[in-house]
Chains A and B, each alone.
Chain A
Amino acid sequence: MLSAFVFGARAGRLSSWKQWLLKTGFQTLKVFIVPGEDVLRALGLELASTGLTIARNPREADILLITGPLPAGLAENAAVIFAQMPRPRLLAVMGELDIAPLPAPAIRLPLTQAGLLALRPEACRLLTAQGWAPEAQPFAPAFIEQVIAGQQEKGDHKGSGSMNHSAMEPGGMDMEGMMKDLDRSGMKPPPDAAALPVHGPHEHHSMPKAADKPSGEETTNEPAADGQHAHHTMPPTDTKEPPAADSPDPGHHQPHAAQAGHEHSAIPAGPMPHTEGMDMPDMMGDQMKPEAGAEMPGMDMSGMDMGFMSMVEMTKDLPRSADGLPMEASEAAFGPFFPGLPGGLNLRLHLDGDNVTKAVITPGQPDQSRADRLPLPAREFAPWLAGLDPLTPAAYHLLAHRALAQAMRLPATAALPQLIALEQERIASHLNWLIDFGVTIGHAWLRQAAEHLYWQLRQVPDQPAAVTAFVRQVRRLPLLRQSLTGVGQIPAPLLHHARGPVAKAAGISHDARQLDPLYQQAGFVPIVRAENNVWGRLQVRLQEMLQSQELVHRLARLDPVSPTPTFPTTDQAAAGTGRATVETPRGTATLEVALQSGQVTAYTLHAPSALHVALVNEFVREQELGDALKTIASLDISPWTITA
């Protein structure tokens, strides 16, 4: 057991004094949950009853608890979290998971509530017994050392042209390298050249633009990783930006000087508000800030005349904010493990001060161990797909079921218990979202009340009175409406990407349940509001919770004796393609499956979250940080269905 703890214990001998301290002090333990507390709850694991509390950042965590799913990329992020936790620390893993590059866990538990309940006593015991160990060793996974060594090397050779981004930042590399090369050769990047080939099956929008915009700003550039997303060129939405002609900046019209080797002809001079130029300002920021970051932006150290430096000259090519001031943009990760956001959501924000100029969600890597199992016998496909998204397994189970039924040319009999399970999952999913949203907006009561109700409903799913009371209370919370109403409006041209509650809040009656005969019998009418903002989305989710409660009752009354249709999955000869649509809690999901001799050989899933990711990348900009995070949280993106 000790060998498992060498990466967590403090270095030194364990005296009885230290042991006493450990025994007393390490009663209150904080857990950092990977991939996230939303997944933990969706798995039916309640942390509150264990006496453990959730750590919001690795520095205050004692235990790193991994529940999975943990695809390769996330495992590296989890290793970074573990490396950043102060010792004595513990690694605990639930279920059978491959967690490399993390070390062997000190505690392995079954993926059950009983397993979770065993965590605290076991952790206390281990920490008391081995909080200090003479044989403690540094946890030094190779990839972290490589990244750090790479960074130091860059620091040593400033201006050598090596890349800014580490291997930890997928997505940003190709474009940046390309731009840098173009930049060096003095070429102008052809407009749209980089952006067009990656569109894939989705639409391309061209919106009317402000008349006075230089043509170069229309370039839309996206990293190749975003292949499945749509591209938009949006009209300026922010009214506070100054028009180009009235720039308050005196520096622009001065001739370029003291820029040996750097010729920024590719970039049109003139103020470039972030709302218009899509990715261009940020790319400029990256260009101007080469290598180690410690270096000054826009300055070539060797060629610079050191006698006098004019700030006007030095900053003239930096991106402008809405007020025309040239500042340096910083870039920070707000995921995959950020409190309040869905666990596993790989979000990066480009910041101008505390203004978000751009939000980028990078799709995670697919779980290779899952992908390897295709082709799959039809019988195993539905549970397999249900495991894709731990947040809403029932919805995807139903989806797979229906698609297979169509592929096998079976009558599309809907099973009432499945629909009831779907509606109950909807309530649970919305509540699960609300708990995390309570963290994002810093509302202690909302978080606790939602969590309380969540576990109440998990025990007894049918409690209309409790749900109704909760919804009424949330609606009456002071200041909540005011603080959410003005936030997160999706521009009209992008609205058709919205699905589920996001679309319904904006007045789009887009719901797959409308077409379902059983739902029609139950008198289902989608909830629609004309509040295209965070408050509207919250309202729709609350109303949907009430509606789902009602639907469960109505569906149950429809045909109480109808037996669950048995699913003939043993048909070895079945072949064909099937397509089905289900309204998951996050929106309409469509699945196409190809079936050959009883085996699922290929499938295509159109999940609502993938569209919402495209939304985030397009329209979250020029918002205050808190508002941007609220907006992103309000879309309720499930990171598990958006793998690249």
Chain B
Amino acid sequence: MENPLTLLVVLLLFGGGVYALAVLEYWSVAGQLAWGRPARLVLHLLLQEEIRPRQSDTVLYETAPVLFLAAAALAAAVLPWSADAPLLGLATGALFVNAAFAYVMVAMLMGGWAVNGVYAMLGGWRFLGQLIAYSMPLVMALTATVMRAESMLPARIVTSQLALWNIVYQPIGFGLFYLAALALAFLPPFDFPVAAGELAGGVWAEFTGTRLLLFRLGRLLLIMTLALAVTVFFLGGWQGPWLPGFAWTFLKTLLVAASFFGVGRYLPRLRYDQLLEWSWKYATPAALVNILWVGILLLL
């Protein structure tokens, strides 16, 4: 924020990253890299008619896409790109990221309910179940990084990894956070609310034109933000030799995001209730073990 030029670079990188993710996303489903496609898709969605389902809940229908985009954007704002360019230095940043992510679920719930269609409704309530599954591993893994940094300030969490990145220091936490991030962004194999093969589009099916555009954009932003969060909390953020800080952040973020897309290509969709079971029977206890592990390491 101090340096307008850095801010500009960060914003440009973020935008470019989101565009690259759009290309990667298409690659993950179609297996080919089409660089012009996202731009054309934006125009395409602008040109299409907007169909609003009848008997829908107008307020929720209109709020959902905007809230979705806003939640992803706000979460991105508090994560630092380099030592001198945190967009926002929020003292409870780690908590705030979580808070913003929670509204992704609220937006999906709204969208699913507002449409008044069976597929969308199923998708919306499924995603709430998904939140119940991924939420605990996510926040507990985050708490363990906060323990080490003695602060909820994301920039402090990065500096706490100077000696050793958290991915090595607390590998269980990293694994849980990574999987929870996949579930949060409802990427395959956790794409329960918008699954094509089970719900023919689910929550998003009844959103057309610009509203769908907002959802799609929001989801790309969300994936980017989650990859950034993984980078900041577990991969040492901007730390790295030779290159400037924001370049490292960018590279790591893109790599993590690409891995998000790659993982889903080779896995079948799970069942959300199985995810719930695994989460509460194994992942939550594992997250507690991770906290204990970090606690003991810190006391030594």
Contacts and interface: CB of A to CB of B under 8 A. Distances in A.
Q: Do chains A and B touch in the complex (CB under 8 A)?
A: yes
Given A441-B197, A443-B268, 6 more contacts: A25-B46, A332-B119, A441-B268, A442-B191, A443-B269, A483-B271
What 8 pairs across the A-B complex have the smallest Cβ distances?
A25-B43, A442-B269, A332-B118, A86-B49, A340-B197, A25-B44, A440-B197, A56-B196
A28 B216 CA distance: 16
Given A25-B40, A444-B265, A627 B271 contact: yes
B175 interface: no
A331 B122 CA distance: 12
A483 B118 contact: no
B122 A86 contact: no
Contacts, number: 126
Nearest to B44: A25
Identify the interface centre among A28, A59, A446: most chain B CB within 10 Å of its CB: A59
B270 A479 contact: yes
Contact of B271 (A86, A440, A443, A626): A626
Interface in B177-231: 188-189, 191, 195-201, 205-209, 212
Contact of B48 (A24, A87, A332): A87
Contact of B29 (A28, A444, A625): A444
Interface in B259-275: 264-271, 273
Interface in A321-345: 330-332, 338-340
A53 B268 contact: no
Contacts of B37: 28
B28 A444 contact: yes
A442 B51 contact: no
A611 interface: no
Contacts of B199: 625
Given A351-B118, A626-B198, A626-B271, A445 B265 contact: yes
Nearest to B117: A332
Contacts of B189: 442, 479
16 contacts: A57-B201, A59-B201, A60-B201, A86-B49, A86-B50, A331-B118, A332-B119, A440-B197, A442-B195, A442-B198, A444-B31, A479-B189, A479-B267, A625-B122, A625-B199, A626-B269
A626 B269 CA distance: 9
Given A339-B196, A439-B196, A28 B268 contact: no
Nearest to A338: B200
A26 interface: yes
Contacts of A28: 37, 40-41, 44
A448 interface: yes
Contacts of B40: 24-25, 27-28
A88 B48 CA distance: 6
Contacts of A625: 122, 198-199
B252 interface: no
B51 A483 contact: no
A439 B44 contact: no
A122 to B, nearest CB: 18
B5 to A, nearest CB: 32
A402 interface: no
Contact of A57 (B50, B188, B200): B200
Given A28-B40, A477-B266, A480-B268, A442 B201 contact: no
B269 A445 contact: no
A131 interface: yes
Contact of A10 (B28, B49, B205, B265): B49
Contact of A59 (B41, B205, B271): B205
Nearest to B48: A86
A448 B26 CA distance: 13
Nearest to A479: B267
B126 interface: yes
Interface size class of B (residues with CB under 8 A): 35 or more
B243 interface: no
A292 to B, nearest CB: 11
A345 to B, nearest CB: 14
Contacts of A22: 47
Given A59-B201, A442-B191, A479 B268 contact: yes
A629 interface: yes
A354 B126 contact: yes
Interface in B93-145: 118-119, 122, 125-126
Contacts of B163: none
Nearest to A341: B197
Interface in A28-83: 28, 53, 56-57, 59-60
Interface string B254-298: 000000000011111111010000000000000000000000000
B30 interface: yes
A176 interface: no
Contacts of B28: 444
B268 A483 contact: yes
Nearest to B206: A59
A442 B197 contact: yes
A57 B205 contact: yes
A484 B36 CA distance: 38
Contacts of A303: none
A624 interface: yes
Contacts of A483: 268-271
A97 interface: no
B44 A444 contact: no
Nearest to A60: B201
- Most chain A beta-carbon neighbours within 10 Å: one of B43, B46, B206, B265: B43
B49 A87 contact: yes
A478 interface: yes
Interface string A12-25: 00000010011011
A53 B269 contact: no
Given A340-B197, A626-B271, A445 B266 contact: yes
A478 B266 contact: yes
Contacts of B265: 444-445
B125 A354 contact: yes
Given A27-B40, A439-B196, A479-B189, A88 B273 contact: no
Nearest to B269: A442
B50 A442 contact: no
A442 B266 CA distance: 10
Contact of A88 (B43, B47, B197): B47
Contact of A56 (B200, B208, B266, B270): B200
B197 to A, nearest CB: 4
A409 to B, nearest CB: 50
Contacts of B200: 56-57, 338-339
A24, A331, A443, A626 — which one has the most chain B CB atoms within 10 A of its CB?
A626
Contact of B273 (A330, A331, A444, A624): A624
A111 B106 CA distance: 47
Contacts of A88: 47-49
A330 B118 contact: yes
B264 A444 contact: yes
Contacts of B196: 56, 339-340, 439, 442
A19 to B, nearest CB: 11
Interface string B38-69: 00111110111111000000000000000000
Nearest to B198: A626
B267 A339 contact: no
Contacts of A27: 36, 40
A444 B198 contact: no
Nearest to B50: A86
A444 to B, nearest CB: 5
Contact of B47 (A25, A332, A340, A351): A25
Given A28-B37, A56-B196, A442 B44 contact: no
Contact of A442 (B41, B188, B206, B209): B188
B198 to A, nearest CB: 5
Contacts of A340: 196-198
Contacts of A444: 28-29, 31, 188, 264-265
B39 to A, nearest CB: 8
Contacts of B208: 59-60, 86
B203 to A, nearest CB: 12
A24 B43 contact: yes
